[in-house]
Amino acid sequence: MAAFERYFFSLAVFFTIVVQWLEARGAVQLTSQNHAEVINGAQVVFVAFCADWCPFSRRLKPIFEQSAEVFHKENPNASAAWAIVDSQQNADINDKYLVTKYPTMKVFVNGELIQKEYRSSRSVEALTNFVKYQLSTAINEFGSDNEVEAAIDRTKRNIIARLNKNGQEYANMKKIGSILREECTFWVPSDTLAQTMTGNSVEFVDPDTGDKQSFTGNMADYEFLKQWVTDKCIPLVREVTFENVEELTEEGLPFLLFFRDPNDKSADKMFTEQVLRELYDQRSTINPLLADGFKFAHPLRHLGKSTKDLPVLAIDSFQHMFVFPDMNQLTVPGKLRQFIMDLHSGKLHKEFHETLDQKLIDLAKFQADNPEDPEFHEAHKEDGQGKPKPPGAKPSDTTPPPSVFKELKPSEKRYSFLQKTEL
């Protein structure tokens, strides 16, 4: 009996040492063998995908590990874990989460991947604050209908969930709120108000129309409810900004860019309605985006357009850019859809060459009308011998205007990009 007790005592000491070592070290190694256990082992799991050959990964790892240690010391009871993936040894995990650059930091909440990667400062304070934020509640409470109507920001997407807090429906919504907190603002009744309710309801408040759309399915069905909320919180047409353009380029779909005056809400509504009507089945082939024509003036100049021409519709395929030929035709049934089909068939590229002479005349006219634009002049002013190009002269490169937005992909000064031969 004494030997038996000594065995279990030694075993307990061993596991205590292991736990203390893990806590001191902060981050665990995430492998193919422990993947499910680690990802589902805490409410928030912060994962750094690294490679030893990558200098940026080597810089991040000690900071990431120190951040984990600091976080656990300051928040010993928090349901959070920090993990590092050695991507050279775990290529299957790399492929599972579509990691193409190092280091990449992703976060899992309740076992589910949050689509937005961590892209902010790589300091101990910033990393720990990020995890604290992910652990904080994503749900706002209201005490009355009048209170929530006055409190919501109608320029943003809002989900109002009048749910009993003891049911599965509320548990589902709380989990969904944690996943989509960056896309929508979630509202639930206070405990006092919830006790007076006789039924459950979930509403989406549309920021464009102000209309309320009700969920009519089974709220206890997590996947069904999550899909409905996701469709409302992540619209088919999104706004591209300098802050999110890197993330959008990584989705890998050509951009359908509607350059417009952001104050012209009627134009936004028109474009959104056309996309919903014409491209409802093209979500996997094109990325429809609203773009501030003043902030993104450079791509417009690249196309021979200026802010005076707004709105302008163009495709950036990440190789070339193509302009929708006649904005007056945008609302004509079938025209927008044909524009997208012509991109995929190669017709847009072919037509560019067939209409090249007229395009050169248009570019020359734009040059004459915009003498204050030095960037445009620099790109078009000489024929290779120091002489101005005549309007009808063909340039040496007769391809469509090269992509501008591909230059806004992840910076090579911050990441090392995956080459399959390196694994």
Least reliable range by pLDDT among 11-20, 136-145, 258-267: 11-20
**HEC states along 154-168?**
CCCCEEEEECCCCCH
CATH class of the domain at 139-233: alpha beta
CATH number corresponding to 2-135 = 3.40.30.10
151-181 tens-digit pLDDT: 999 989 999 999 998 999 999 999 999 999 9
Q: How far is Cα 286 from Cα 279, in angstroms, rounded to an integer?
A: 9
Percentage with pLDDT > 70 across the chain: 81
Q: Which residues contact 80 (CB under 8 A, 6 or more apart)?
A: 42, 43, 44, 45, 46, 71, 131, 134, 135
Q: SS3 for 132?
A: helix
Instruction: Tell me which H or E stretch contains 260.
Output: strand 255-260
- Regarding predicted confidence, which is higher, 296 or 373? 296
Report pLDDT for 129. Answer: 97
Report pLDDT for 383. Answer: 45
Residue 147 binned pLDDT confidence (cut-offs 50, 70, 90):
very high
Q: Give the strands of the sheet with 185-189, arranged side by side.
A: 139-142, 185-189, 158-162, 201-205, 212-214
Least reliable range by pLDDT among 27-36, 318-327, 404-413: 404-413
Residue bearing tokens 């391809």 = 399
Report pLDDT for 412. Answer: 67
201-234 tens-digit pLDDT: 999 999 878 899 999 999 999 999 999 999 899 8
Q: Which residues partner with 102 through β-bridges? A: 416
Residue 392 binned pLDDT confidence (cut-offs 50, 70, 90):
very low
**Domain spans, the chain:** 2-135, 139-233, 238-408
Judge if 2-135 and 238-408 fold alike in CATH terms: yes
Q: Which residues partner with 238 through β-bridges? A: 289
Task: Give the Å distances, CA to CA, from 43 to 135, 175, 176.
Answer: 8, 10, 13
Is the distance from CB of 321 to CB of 302 less than 8 angstroms? yes
Percentage with pLDDT > 90 across the chain: 60
Q: How far is Cα 187 from Cα 341, in angstroms, rounded to an integer?
A: 41
Q: Say if strands 44-50 and 104-109 run parallel, antiparallel, or are unpaired.
A: antiparallel
Report pLDDT for 273. Answer: 94
CATH superfamily of 238-408: Glutaredoxin (3.40.30.10)
Mean per-residue pLDDT over the chain, rounded: 85
pLDDT at residue 400 is higher than 50: yes
Residue 409 binned pLDDT confidence (cut-offs 50, 70, 90):
confident
256-300 tens-digit pLDDT: 999 999 999 899 999 999 999 999 888 889 999 999 999 999 999
Q: How far is Cα 18 from Cα 419, in angstroms, rounded to an integer?
A: 36
pTM of the model: 0.71
Report pLDDT for 382. Answer: 47
Q: Which residues contact 180 (CB under 8 A, 6 or more apart)?
A: 186, 229, 230, 233, 234
Render 363-423 in DSSP notation, one character per residue.
HHHHHHH-TT-HHHHHHHS--SSSPPPPTTPPPS--SPPBPSGGGGSPPTTT-EE--GGG-
28-65 tens-digit pLDDT: 999 999 999 999 999 999 999 999 999 999 999 999 99
Q: In angstroms, what is the C-alpha Rg of the chain? A: 27
Is the distance from CB of 168 to CB of 200 less than 8 angstroms? no
